[in-house]
A and B are shown apart, each in its own frame.
Chain A
């Protein structure tokens, strides 16, 4: 029976490689017991999410060597043939830092076995698979050691010799499980794989084998986390507006930072750039024993191509990157835009807005205004030299901010020009603007 086409990835050093050692980090408590099984499980969960960008049917197994399967039958057209897809996939795995052996076969069990073959690990039809298997040594079979020993003592050396025996005889001699295994290997028996389900909330955890003291040393493992996260976002065809980094400490409660963006993003390099700005400014309360990445809210990826102001999309992207970097390093409230407000009083005729916000123009005064404003106005002695004025400004009675003022341009002793007013109710003089 046809079971599609399966890519199997063997990850022989998964637990070891997942247990990140941040390069060049000053460490404490260098050796401590860690739960390798839990680390392997967590790393495989992240890899499954990452793999979802290539295939909508992902499955894995941790027993007898971590194996990750991707059903590729439907993906072939998407990625321009297997060759291109496999090249991209292996390059991406290398970038993540995982040792791996890949094989492609029309049965998942067959693909898993071929990952151990030295060469010719890519077959696309059942007859090809059978031919390829026949040449391989028996020792590669995932059968119990006593079965393999019995086969060996019976003089069998190659898989082909075993496959030549009648299936009923194999079942009688070695048990039905061995027989079923061989049929699945050749793709002649149903070989269902539990489909990994993509979680609605993204959670990834990265445990260190030694505590990390410097926030910047977290960048190295974070890069891998973000690459895996990017795979998840691509798999779901979505993007994020914010994600959270949580830091686990040994002798201190967890700490966290949330990294927000002005526009949806899913590019790992961009996310890393933003995280770097935050990490550089971060004071860790204690050394970090594990790093967690979480994202709860996702937006449609189509927003990525948004064009808000008729700019070319590239320029918009560049601007957003700049805004994100500035906000990440300086704080959200430190980067703002300006807009007009409908009020005659100079101090209320403007307001801060979020950057790039385009506002309807409520009112531009007819009389020329100075380019800078003193907020609030500063009380001064009556000016000696008035160059122009008065301009009467009255308004605000409706909200209690009653104002009646006469505005003038005054010359100060140093030659500067001041925008001053006299409060008509009290008679006091104020400096409100500078003709910078």
Chain B
């Protein structure tokens, strides 16, 4: 019999395998040069949680991150969608270069299940990004997810209601999203290691040219 593997060792498998593959870049380019220029490391924080607080659904909050999802998926990592409120539309994702076989769609029955699934997915190095829509989330849980993202070297995207901007959060990056003609206005609300307070206008809308 080979050396017996304990549960703890098994749980550590993901993290160890991760470390052996060398350091991962701390940021993944967003696909928007103006945004990259404002984010520490030049892109979305990898191994961390980013919160997106959208004024309303349908103002480009998902289109904004599709370029980074496509980049991670084409690098061989999977994209886990945990209980999305709307159906991710496969033809639209394929149009934007996201390989569909890397998409994992996970339905849950409760907030607790969603948080658990997010944490599991974030921890797994085979997953590059995890998207979640928690109805409410306390700091302690954001911190848990943050640790899981660090362990798995993955990008965690939390969609939160606009009211969440009034509270603080341990997330590495917090963006407020406002509707704008032909695009979305991105307000950097908090950026660990970067500058907050800037608002950028990015062309992601239906009528804009999509790369």
Contact A339 B179 (CB under 8 A): no
Contact for A325 among B59, B94, B107, B120, CB less than 8 A? B120
Interface residues in A362-376 (C-beta closer than 8 Å to B): 364-365, 368-375
Question: Which residue of chain B lies nearest to A308 when distances are taken between CB atoms in the complex?
Answer: B101
Q: Which residues of A contact B87 (CB under 8 A)?
A: 372-375
Q: Is A398 an interface residue (CB 8 A)?
A: no
Q: Is the CB of A321 within 8 A of B124?
A: yes
- B1 lies within 8 A of A88 (CB): yes
Known: A329-B116, A436-B63. A319 touches B78 (CB 8 A): yes
Q: Give CA–CA (A326, B78) in the complex, Å.
A: 14
Chain B proximity mask over A332-355: 1 for CB below 8 Å, otherwise 0? 011111111000001001111001
The docked-state distance in angstroms from the alpha carbon of A338 to that of B13 is 28
Please name all residues of chain A whose beta carbon is closer than 8 Å to the beta carbon of B180 when the two chains form the complex.
415
Q: How far is the CB of B109 from chain A (nearest CB, A)?
A: 8
Name A54's closest neighbour in chain B (CB-CB): B1
Q: Which residues of A contact B210 (CB under 8 A)?
A: 368
Within the complex, which residue of B7, B55, B124, B178 is in contact with A269, where a contact is CB–CB below 8 Å?
B7
In the assembled complex, A304 has its CB within 8 A of some CB on chain B = no
CB distance from B130 to the nearest CB of A (A): 11
| Most chain B beta-carbon contacts within 10 A, residue among A95, A272, A322, A414 | A322
**How many chain B residues have a CB neighbour from A under 8 Å?**
60
Partner of B62, one of A53, A95, A365, A371: A371
Given contacts A356-B101, A412-B58, contact A349 B120 (CB under 8 A): no
Contact A416 B56 (CB under 8 A): yes
> Roughly how many angstroms separate A418 CA and B60 CA in the complex, as a whole number?
11
Shortest distance from the beta carbon of B72 to any chain A beta carbon, whole Å: 13
Interface size class of A (residues with CB under 8 A): 35 or more
**With A311-B76, A387-B207, A415-B179: A337-B100 Cβ-Cβ less than 8 Å:** yes
A331 to B210: give the CA distance in the assembly, Å. 37
Enumerate chain B residues within 8 angstroms of A153, measured Cβ to Cβ: none
Decide if B206 touches A273 in the complex (CB within 8 Å).
no
With CB as the reference atom, state the residue of chain B lying closest to A92. Answer: B1
Contact indicator A329/B58 (Cβ below 8 Å): no
Say yes or no for A434: interface residue by CB 8 A criterion. Answer: yes
The answer to whether B106 and A319 have CB atoms under 8 Å apart is: no
A189 close to chain B: CB less than 8 A: no
Q: Are B4 and A91 in contact (CB under 8 A)?
A: yes
- Measured between beta carbons, the chain A residues less than 8 angstroms from B55 are 414-415
In the complex, the answer to whether B206 meets A370 with C-beta atoms within 8 Å is: yes
A371 touches B120 (CB 8 A): no
Contacts of B93 in A (CB 8 A): 338, 371
B61 at the interface (CB under 8 A from A): yes
At the interface, yes or no: A403 with Cβ under 8 Å from chain B? no
**A277 CA / B106 CA spacing, docked (Å):** 16
Q: Is B33 an interface residue (CB 8 A)?
A: no
Give CA–CA (A417, B93) in the complex, Å. 17
A118 to chain B, nearest CB (A): 26
Query: Given contacts A335-B104, A372-B88, A435-B63, are A92 and B4 in contact (CB under 8 A)?
Result: yes
Residues of A within 8 A of B124 (CB): 318-319, 321-322
Verify if A359 is at the interface (C-beta below 8 Å from B).
Answer: yes
- Is there a chain B Cβ closer than 8 Å to A397's Cβ? no
Contact B7 A417 (CB under 8 A): no
Residues of chain A contacted by B7 (CB below 8 angstroms): 269, 272-273, 276
User: Smallest distance from the beta carbon of B107 to chain A beta carbons, Å?
Assistant: 4
Q: Which residue of B lies closest to A419 (CB)?
A: B206
A134, CB-defined interface residue at 8 Å: no
Q: Residue on B with the closest CB to A432? A: B89
Chain A, residue nearest B56 (CB): A414
A89 near B: Cβ within 8 Å?
yes
Query: B59, B60, B103: which contacts A337 (Cβ < 8 A)?
Result: B103
Among A239-287, those with CB < 8 Å from B are 267-270, 272-273, 276
A187 at the interface (CB under 8 A from B): no
Contact surface of A with B, Cβ cutoff 8 Å: 53, 88-89, 91-92, 95, 227, 231, 234, 267-270, 272-273, 276, 309, 311, 314-316, 318-319, 321-323, 325-326, 329-330, 333-340, 346, 349-352, 355-359, 361, 364-365, 368-375, 387-388, 409, 412, 414-419, 433-436
Nearest 10 CB-CB pairings of A with B: A415-B179, A416-B58, A350-B90, A372-B86, A319-B126, A434-B58, A369-B92, A436-B62, A414-B56, A92-B1
17 A-B residue pairs with CB within 8 Å: A88-B2, A92-B1, A269-B5, A269-B6, A309-B101, A318-B14, A319-B127, A330-B107, A334-B106, A334-B107, A340-B91, A368-B210, A371-B62, A373-B87, A374-B86, A415-B179, A435-B63
Known: A364-B94, A416-B59. 7 other contacts (CB 8 A): A268-B5, A315-B126, A319-B126, A330-B113, A369-B95, A370-B206, A416-B58
Which B residues fall within an 8 A CB radius of A?
Answer: 1-2, 4-7, 9-10, 13-14, 17, 55-63, 66, 76, 78, 84, 86-96, 100-101, 103-109, 113, 116-117, 120-121, 124-127, 178-180, 205-207, 210
